[in-house]
């Protein structure tokens, strides 16, 4: 009887562990691809851009394909923590890009000391 209880406990823990891994990877799978990103208007700045997210070396990296003509942003690495992806950028000022999932929707924000948190609109283009 004791062995059966231990076996059932182990199976339950294994099931919970697998479910948690699938949830963590769910965001990764959903964000891979090209995204059209829009930022609410900021005076004097155009912050609309195309974001290309892909896997590289067991992590996620991104390129900004359009939007910051004077900047070459390639293979920036996301940090994965607490079911969020975040990256720090320098585009004339330091920005933090954060992507997360709420329900079935992917959301993102861009924050900077000068502007605070700016919600982003995301539209997957492939």
* pTM exceeds 0.75, yes or no: no
Q: Which H/E stretch holds residue 16?
A: helix 2-31
Domain CATH for 110: 2.40.128.120
Phi/psi at 114 (nearest 5 deg)? -75, -30
Residues comprising the chain, all counted: 126
Q: Which two tokens stand for residue 71?
A: 């900047």
Q: How confident is the model at residue 16 (pLDDT cuts 50, 70, 90)?
A: very low
Q: 3-class DSSP state for residue 13?
A: helix
Question: How many CB atoms within 10 Å of residue 19?
Answer: 10
pLDDT over 70 (residue 29): yes
Containing structural domain, residue 57? 2-124
Task: Give the per-residue pLDDT at 84.
Answer: 94
Give me the number of domains the chain comprises.
1
- Return the higher-pLDDT residue of 75 and 2: 75
pLDDT over 50 (residue 79): yes
Task: Give the per-residue pLDDT at 42.
Answer: 61
Distance CA 61, CA 55 (A): 6
Distance CA 60, CA 50 (A): 16
Percent of the residues in the chain that have a pLDDT greater than 70, as a whole number = 69
Q: 3-class DSSP state for residue 70?
A: coil
């Amino acid at each position: 009887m004791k062995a059966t209880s231990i076996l059932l406990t182990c199976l339950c823990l294994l099931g919970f562990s697998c479910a948690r891994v699938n949830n963590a990877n769910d965001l990764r799978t959903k964000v891979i691809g090209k995204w059209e990103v829009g930022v609410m208007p900021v005076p004097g700045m155009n912050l609309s851009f195309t974001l290309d997210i892909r896997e590289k070396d067991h992590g996620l990296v991104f390129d900004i394909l359009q939007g910051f003509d004077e900047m070459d942003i390639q293979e920036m690495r996301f940090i994965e923590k607490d079911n969020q992806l975040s990256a720090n950028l320098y585009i004339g000022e330091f920005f933090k890009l954060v992507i997360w999932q709420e329900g079935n929707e992917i959301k993102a924000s861009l924050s900077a000391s000068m502007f605070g948190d700016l919600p982003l609109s995301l539209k997957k283009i492939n």
